[in-house]
Amino acid sequence: MASSSYSTLKRLLSLLLLIYGFLLSIELMSAAFKSFGQGFAHQLIAATSNPFTALFIGILATTIAQSSSSTTSILVGLVASGAISITNAVPIVMGANIGTSVTNTLVSFAHVTRKQEFRRALAGATVHDFFNMLAVLILFPLELYTHFLQRSALLFTGIFISIGGLKFTSPLKIAVKPVIELIRGFIQGLFPGSTVLAGVVMLIIAFALLFTTLKLLVNTMRGLVLGKIERVLHVYLFEKPMRSLLLGMTFTSIVQSSSVTTSLMIPLVGAGILSVEEIFPYTLGANIGTTITAILASLVTGSPAAVSIALTHLLFNLSGVAIFYPLRRLPISIAKRLSRLASNSRGYALMYILVVFYLIPIILIYLTKRGG
């Protein structure tokens, strides 16, 4: 019995270490993209000329910066300075919601060598994509003709601007930042004259760490969750949709990154521990939670533009949840169909990422700018 307890403790410690490695890989991936994408993302957003261009700029800028928070932060500064109108900023927020979900899909590729795992993991990842895409499909034309999100955000801005806010540091950033800075400093020391080359090396290290930790994570979780932990996940956390949604919202508002909190679910779905149906409400909660800290931080600034953009993001996500939670079978079934197709031919999954998150936005931005 003592031997069994020691073995369980050893596995739990291994699990915690692997989760840290997994989170580190995601943050390192984000740092790598930012090292050669942040300036370009800023230029891209600043060049917004109309709502259609703005939507695709939001997607592309966020996939490059690997963070909807980065896109929103750039946006707040540009709106506050008068470089972009709030009308053009709202579609960028919508596009950023789609762009931020690319991280989940990249994480699912760690399961690519195991067909059934990859099918489950990809479905768990892309259900986030399709929820965001469907929300944009409905809400973008509505906003274009009625400006209901912008008007609602401005109304609430007037109410909340004077109440003050709260700013705190994500515990995740506290935990991983020293290691990220150490790796970044070492790599930049090796390539002092090239930020892009240093970023590429960081990206390779991030993917190597991601694939290694995820493979070990799934194996370790399988050994642990067959008993009590699996029951805890199902009965106490994910059995009730509202509880799952609140978990996603709370966890994300603390960690301050929906990419991280939703990506954590992918190995659980890949291993068959949780289903796509169980994590869907959690994903919706994460979408809401990622806006809460931005709202609190924007209230501290006292800038009406900052508060309006943060509230627009929240209202967009709440509207999406109100529409598609009752219709959840639609994004779930689309995600499952794509995953079945991609598990039989892995190239489809890679093509999906390249076409949806990069090729289509680049082509449409080029065409709309040329047409303008």
Distance CA 284, CA 250 (A): 12
So what's the pLDDT on residue 188?
83
So what's the pLDDT on residue 166?
52
Question: Model-level pTM?
Answer: 0.81
Distance CA 69, CA 73 (A): 6
From the first residue on, what is the mean pLDDT of each consecutive set of 10 residues in the chain (372 residues)? 63 79 78 64 64 87 75 73 79 91 86 89 94 96 92 83 57 77 86 78 84 74 59 73 90 79 87 89 92 72 77 93 94 95 88 90 80 60
Cβ of 323: how many Cβ atoms within 10 Å?
A: 14
Q: Where are the alpha helices (DSSP H) in 232-355?
A: 241-255, 258-263, 265-270, 276-301, 304-324, 329-344, 347-353
So what's the pLDDT on residue 364?
84
Please choose, from the candidates 224, 266, 227, the residue with its C-alpha nearest in 3D space to the C-alpha of residue 117: 266
So what's the pLDDT on residue 327?
93
So what's the pLDDT on residue 45?
65
Tokens representing 189 are 């020391």
Tokens 């990506």 -> residue: 263
Distance CA 212, CA 18 (A): 9
User: Are the C-beta atoms of residues 77 and 299 closer than 8 Å to each other?
Assistant: no
Q: Which helix (H) or strand (E) holds 327?
A: none
Distances (CA, A) of 88 to 139, 143, 346: 14, 11, 37
